[in-house]
Structure 1
């Protein structure tokens, strides 16, 4: 008892340390000397109200790069991106903003950008849709700082506003103000060890404060006269040229909208910036990302609630499963020994025979059913004692319909299981973290390609178990079905996003690279795994033989033939994860920075969730087999995959109640990507359900 308590205590401590989570904030620390140049990178603009992102330098109303060198780095030069960064829409370029360690700048003029009415209309649209800008310094995104009401806590929100809207006190109409002056605050502290003793510093914070300053509030150099004083703001408005307008539309009843007037008028926008360096010894370099997570600390209680909810549900199901296992393995699975069943053979007859080759000399349940020397009366008594699932021993392992489709689906499901396990493990250990920009997508793609071996192996071996003959066709379907669906869907959606000019659209070279990864690397790995699984491995042996004539399935009750029981079974695993889903969806669809970091909580909830899928599948298959229906193969897969239906319904609820997406394209992308993700999730849980049911059925018929 003491040893058991000790083991439980160790497991509990391990779980607590796991869910607390940690992250590796970077792989190398950059130390700066005084007045050493610090590059500022511009990335993209994004919004919570749309799924379309745009590269910063693609916008026609920002200062374009001058392609001059600043501290040895040429502006406008693209930064090499990993696959994950490209997939998330990053387009990172060096800028003309000049920063030097510990060297303040009261004001520096950047440029004057001349735009027309079409550009003004575009800028207003981005402001109206709440777009924010992402800049990067020392791998930290520029942040807008917030302070709690009691001023006891400060936290960051990645990005800063592109502009703002206010009502005019004169006309009462909305004024669109562009933030054409930024104040950059770089927080630093002394480097650790000998580097700090030599005066080197590290950056622990990057804050951006925006302001809209009109031309009348600037001096001849283009800088604000006083960056701290209130300003009238720079209005994105071009007054119409009435003289030219009358000449162009003279005698016409058509009066165009102001933004659509083609009168050649221009608007000059001055841009400037200030830079301040401030020492901050309260933040360690290893903890500098904590400021981006502080606004999520209050949700830790909800995460613990999610864990408690999942554990309670799993505990109840565990009790039900243990009862079923005890009944099948120790009760129903044994013959009664009363009323003359101990001795079934006629007195004085040759009551036994020599076992044939491959047969077991056993008095188990199904061996007794196959014994040829049982008396007719004893057979009737024996059959009376056997009912429900025990009657299916000669049909339960019969090859299912569409086995050529089931095997590739299970193989691809094993591939998804491997990828999900790897990503959760690496994220919980801190290898994948926000400072590893694009790491989640890059590592996930690498794991998916490598896991092609597992996909081919399990598909090939299961296909052999189903007595399949054309293993090449099975392998080709395994290699092409799910990866082909993913690639074709991504390609189609990419065309839609490309038509909108968004940076989320994958470049042609990236699409070619993805196709090469799929066709030149993963497909050969699938064939290698399938060859080992089909030719070098034995088919899984079944504990009972299959009869030549299939047993007639009795009239099925509603709870075994309707889709309602399958969905009801899927609701239980969904109830385990629905609380944590809210945080995941917020991170993906609302917080485009993607700063989801509580992978420790997610790992625990995921483990309990998979355990729940296993237990629900066992309960569902026991009820299904007790109805004397031996076609359980596809049923187990569907029961396991059914939580994905509830997750998709949850996506719909989240879209209708939590999101404020504008435009058809954003809504279409949301549902398309949600359906694709739910499909992959259903493939994962469906495979878990199938493998669970297969192991359960093999065990009870042993």
Structure 2
């Protein structure tokens, strides 16, 4: 059988992919990629080659889009070489650790960093066996593989508390063959990391056939074997100590397994989300809230409001009506193109950062209607500093985000945005309004229902972002977002009507803050999530987490507040337009 030659690329970041049924698969392999080191304890991604690993003759950066830079997922090539269908064991290289390198490795291992690879747009994964409540077992994938492990009494061959480096990788590549095409298609990419304290006899050689290795890796739960298949002893793992020097031998082997999984179904194990009953329960609960609010709004419009209008004996003229309500601007549509893009065609196997790039471009283009609506609405409310409002709309929110990125730059994280990229982002703008609080109790009460509509789905989204899990239930997300929009509109209308009944005509900021206050609950939820679900260590990672959640909560506040404001504006215009004017 002819061999198709593979060159393996290394990259250390979560990988997303764009996948549409019918896209032509590859019957040959050409470039495995790896992107970055990531950790659930520090949340700071680092470049793969920031650690003492084997490098190819020339390290080539492959930046595909702006989203990859923002995500810290710049692809780089690696020294791994794999041949299609060929089972082999290879020596990658030998590195002599300097004290600083050993200390860095020791720290990263204790911080639970993981390495992420991709091959044929499939991310490397470690296999997990999960038992279901009915007693059945299923196979699931966890993205990437751990950089190392901390020894414990339960792990054979390790010293409790010691840091061990995974210096041997066992690639298990699954392929599918069919009479409909020539060659084979890759449908699985598993990695089994091992820690082996290699020993060899004679002179060192990078050629495994010439190097007389005295150890052979057999598994992470067992000590390595000598070449004569006898145990090497209980201390077979490669332990990394702080400020210690010594050689590290990196090796890998490749195993090919035939599979009945077709190319179109190869992502199923990655995207398995478990039981979806909790999603349906959340949606049904939110729909009950929507129906209740809809009934209240209908009662106001059909009974109370009709009676109030009929008893209204002192109508204002149309000029005063326009002065009170302002003209009707275009509805908020900045999120629509991005959401349409997500729900129609997003898939985790697309080019890394593609969705983020499309989102940023969408927001940049939507800056034009954002500035127009902001200044137009401000002038309609008799504001005089409309130019200042336009400038703040374009600069306030992105300026606040740019200020928070300094901590990442100071930590030399690959997730930090380079200066050139920051210049590009400065050209993009978002809708921003000032913060002005009136009627704090009503405002806080108004944010409970919109947040309640999304908090179940929010848990899965945050788990995907902060614990590096896949999220692929966009159908549920679309329903939840629709419920959120309806809830924000209706709760703002109800409270706005009660405010007008109390002869308080300053409804605009109250309407904005009523639904927008759900962003405050979102940030409060992020605090609870931090203490209950995450194990983040260190001041800078903690600061980064809360900074990002504050940025996201602010954006959520702006989006939900805008929905509430425009809904109330339409409502006020409708009820006052029904009043007869003499």
- Normalising by structure 2, we get a TM-score of 0.84
Residues 436, 77 of structure 1: alpha-carbon distance in 2 compared, 3 angstrom cutoff? closer
Distance 2:18 2:40 in 1: 26
Deviation at 1:117, TM superposition (A): 2.4
Residues 1:499 and 2:490 are matched in the alignment: no
Deviation at 1:397, TM superposition (A): 6.0
**For residue 482 of structure 1, what is the aligned residue in structure 2?**
397
Q: Secondary structure at the match of 1:102?
A: coil
**For residue 116 of structure 1, what is the aligned residue in structure 2?**
98
Residues 1:324 and 2:300 are matched in the alignment: yes
Q: Secondary structure at the match of 1:148?
A: strand
**For residue 304 of structure 1, what is the aligned residue in structure 2?**
280
**For residue 420 of structure 1, what is the aligned residue in structure 2?**
335
Residues 1:601 and 2:512 are matched in the alignment: no
Deviations 1:30-76 (A, max 9, x none): 4235xxx64222211111111111111121x2112223xxxxxxxx2
Deviation at 1:189, TM superposition (A): 1.2
Residues 494, 139 of structure 1: alpha-carbon distance in 2 compared, 3 angstrom cutoff? same
Distance 1:623 1:431 in 2: 42
Residues 212, 609 of structure 1: alpha-carbon distance in 2 compared, 3 angstrom cutoff? same
- Normalising by structure 1, we get a TM-score of 0.70
Residues 494, 472 of structure 1: alpha-carbon distance in 2 compared, 3 angstrom cutoff? closer
**For residue 235 of structure 1, what is the aligned residue in structure 2?**
238
Residues 1:430 and 2:345 are matched in the alignment: yes
Residues 274, 235 of structure 1: alpha-carbon distance in 2 compared, 3 angstrom cutoff? closer
**For residue 163 of structure 1, what is the aligned residue in structure 2?**
148
Structure 1 unaligned segments of length 5 or more: list them.
Answer: 1-21, 68-75, 239-258, 336-363, 371-392, 527-559
CA contact (8 A) 1:571 1:646 kept: yes
Distance 2:439 2:378 in 1: 28
Distance 2:306 2:473 in 1: 43
Residues 288-437 of structure 1 aligned to structure 2 (within 5 Å): 288-294=266-272, 296-298=273-275, 300-335=276-311, 365-367=313-315, 398=323, 418-437=333-352
Residues 264-279 of structure 1 aligned to structure 2 (within 5 Å): 266-279=245-258
Deviation at 1:164, TM superposition (A): 1.2
CA contact (8 A) 1:419 1:444 kept: no
Distance 1:24 1:441 in 2: 16
**For residue 83 of structure 1, what is the aligned residue in structure 2?**
66
- Residue 570 of structure 1: which of 424, 443, 447 is its match? 447
CA contact (8 A) 2:200 2:211 kept: no
Distance 2:333 2:184 in 1: 42
Structure 2 unaligned segments of length 5 or more: list them.
Answer: 1-16, 202-207, 225-234, 432-436, 578-582
Distance 2:464 2:453 in 1: 19
Deviations 1:579-606 (A, max 9, x none): 1111111111111xx6211111011011
Residues 142, 173 of structure 1: alpha-carbon distance in 2 compared, 3 angstrom cutoff? closer
Distance 1:630 1:237 in 2: 69
Distance 1:626 1:428 in 2: 41
Distance 1:639 1:285 in 2: 49
Deviation at 1:687, TM superposition (A): 0.9
Deviation at 1:285, TM superposition (A): 1.2
Deviation at 1:497, TM superposition (A): 1.2
Deviation at 1:608, TM superposition (A): 0.7
Residues 170, 284 of structure 1: alpha-carbon distance in 2 compared, 3 angstrom cutoff? closer
CA contact (8 A) 2:117 2:124 kept: yes
Distance 2:258 2:152 in 1: 39
**For residue 63 of structure 1, what is the aligned residue in structure 2?**
54
More deviation, 566-575/418-427:
418-427
Deviations 1:384-436 (A, max 9, x none): xxxxxxxxx99776569xx9xxx9xx99x97xx53432232222223354434
Deviations 1:422-451 (A, max 9, x none): 232222223354434212211100100111
